[in-house]
Amino acid sequence: MATLHNRVSRKELKQKALQDTTPRTTLSFYCYFHIEDPASFRDTWYREMSKFFVLGRVYIAHEGVNAQISCPDEHIEDLRAIIESAPALKNLRLNKAVDEHRNSFYVLDIKVRNKIVADGIEDPLFSMQNKGKYVTADTFNEMVKDPNTMVIDMRNHYEYEVGRFRNAIEIPSDTFREQLPMAAEMFKAEKDRNIIMYCTGGIRCEKASAWMLHNGYKNVFHLEGGIIHYINKVREMQLDNNFIGKNFVFDERLGERITEDILSNCHICGASCDAHVNCANAACHLLFIQCDACRDKLSNCCSKECQEFVHLDLVEQKKRRQGIDKGRNIFNKSKKRMEELSKKKNSSL
């Protein structure tokens, strides 16, 4: 019987992937549909995808599937056959990465979750059956010309910070579960206007559109395939592009360059920059924006304190890391986090 879990360390798997020169394509897909037995579904996909050296992250729940993966080019049709073995996934759109990079993933993780995207919704009357209308790239471009149309970004703050659609409205938060009630509350006076919601690949804005309709909004739309599909269609159909900056992605790349516009600044010195990095201190691992000069000055760390930590003996580092919960360390617009950022600047400059 084939193994259904990774039995090799992630460090070893990453090194192996870096040495592999096989042409690969980064793909993402999702679908809301009922899965009776997510655990069995998960094991089947893990077994089959492993045969073709698929790497990436896949979430499976009773409500459907959500995947971001890297597949050898020679096995894309094999992958499609695995996906379409589920009747609900026939002819499913596979979003191809905008800014291709062979090493987007180094391991295959397929996990069973309560939801394929954490939403915090507990209302038993909520249903994904009643969701907003799809908007294609060309229709989106036409609709945004109308002043009666609102464009709402359903991504986290750190995604919006580096790239977004022109005139898009941010819902300043760190998680999708925080955004949903905020969105329903923020636009109460706009319930009769056209609302277009968007996200990276479509999964969050599709659920958000259903939530808005559930809360009494009337004319709700969501961008088909999200930013990724929009950019691919813009290039394919030679349409005007309304997205500027960088599209944040949740893999090793941490971003796809869409336009040369730099919309954000280094969180350490304030220089124009949109390069996300994780602090080299494993006890911190903060996701933040850092310019090359600060990266060199701080040894890939977010502060002098973390820089000093990584230069400690490895045994001492491990000892000090015990019991530390990194959580989801990210920069956001909350007062507390901005105060922390200010302190880091003062201690790092």
Q: Give 124-181 pLDDT, tens digit per residue.
A: 999 999 999 999 999 999 999 999 999 999 999 999 999 999 999 999 888 899 999 9
For the chain, list residues with pLDDT below 50.
Answer: 1, 327-328, 331-339, 341-342, 346, 348
169-170 β-sheet, strand order: 133-135, 219-223, 194-198, 149-153, 169-170
Q: Is 204 a member of any domain?
A: yes
**Per-residue model confidence (pLDDT) at position 89:** 97
Q: Is 198 a member of any domain?
A: yes
Length of the chain: 349
Beta strands in the chain (DSSP E): 24-32, 55-61, 64-72, 95-96, 108-112, 133-135, 149-153, 163-165, 169-170, 194-198, 219-223, 243-247, 256-257, 276-278, 287-289
Provide the 3-class DSSP secondary structure of residue 260.
coil
Q: Is 306 a known active-site residue? A: no
| Whether residues 200 and 236 fall in one domain | yes
Q: Dump pLDDT digits (tens) for 2-46.
A: 557 666 666 666 667 666 778 999 999 999 999 999 999 999 999
Which of the following is catalytic: 71, 199, 266, 273? 199
| Whether residues 154 and 83 fall in one domain | no
Q: Is 253 a member of any domain?
A: no
Q: Which of 224, 245, 266 is the last residue of a domain?
A: 245
Enumerate residues 6+ apart whose C-beta is below 8 A from 163: 227, 243, 244, 245, 246, 247, 248, 255, 258, 263, 274
Q: Contact, 35 vs 82, CB < 8 A?
A: no
Tell me the C-alpha distance between 39 and 5, whole Å.
13
| Whether residues 96 and 38 fall in one domain | yes
DSSP class of residue 277 equals E
Q: Is 63 a member of any domain?
A: yes
| Whether residues 236 and 320 fall in one domain | no
Q: Which of 223, 245, 267 is the last residue of a domain?
A: 245
**Per-residue model confidence (pLDDT) at position 334:** 39
Strand-pair partners of 59: 66, 111
| Whether residues 158 and 238 fall in one domain | yes
| Whether residues 71 and 144 fall in one domain | no
**Per-residue model confidence (pLDDT) at position 115:** 96
Enumerate residues 6+ apart whose C-beta is below 8 A from 3: 50
Q: Is 300 a member of any domain?
A: yes
Provide the 3-class DSSP secondary structure of residue 301.
coil
Per the structure, the count of domains in the chain is: 3
Write out 79-125 in H/E/C secondary structure: HHHHHCCCHHHCCCCCEECCCCCCCCCCCEEEEECCCCCCCCCCCCC
**Which tokens sit at 295?**
């990266």
| Whether residues 236 and 301 fall in one domain | no
| Whether residues 59 and 161 fall in one domain | no
Q: Is 24 a member of any domain?
A: yes
Q: Is 260 a member of any domain?
A: no
Q: Which of 80, 112, 144 is the last residue of a domain?
A: 112
Q: What is the CATH number of the domain that holds 44?
A: 3.30.70.100
Write out the residue range of the structural domain in which residue 321 sits.
276-348
| Whether residues 77 and 155 fall in one domain | no
| Whether residues 107 and 153 fall in one domain | no
Tell me the C-alpha distance between 42 and 321, whole Å.
33
Q: Contact, 101 vs 55, CB < 8 A?
A: no
163-165 β-sheet, strand order: 163-165, 243-247, 256-257
Work out the number of other CB atoms within 10 angstroms of the CB of residue 154: 28
| Whether residues 193 and 238 fall in one domain | yes
| Whether residues 230 and 320 fall in one domain | no
**Per-residue model confidence (pLDDT) at position 5:** 65
**Per-residue model confidence (pLDDT) at position 294:** 96
What does the buried/exposed string (b/e) look like for 45-84 if buried means 16 or more CB atoms within 10 Å of the residue's CB? Answer: bbebbbebbbbbbbbbbbbbbbbbbbbbeebbebbbebbe
Q: Is 84 a member of any domain?
A: yes
Closest CA to 246 of 231, 261, 233: 261
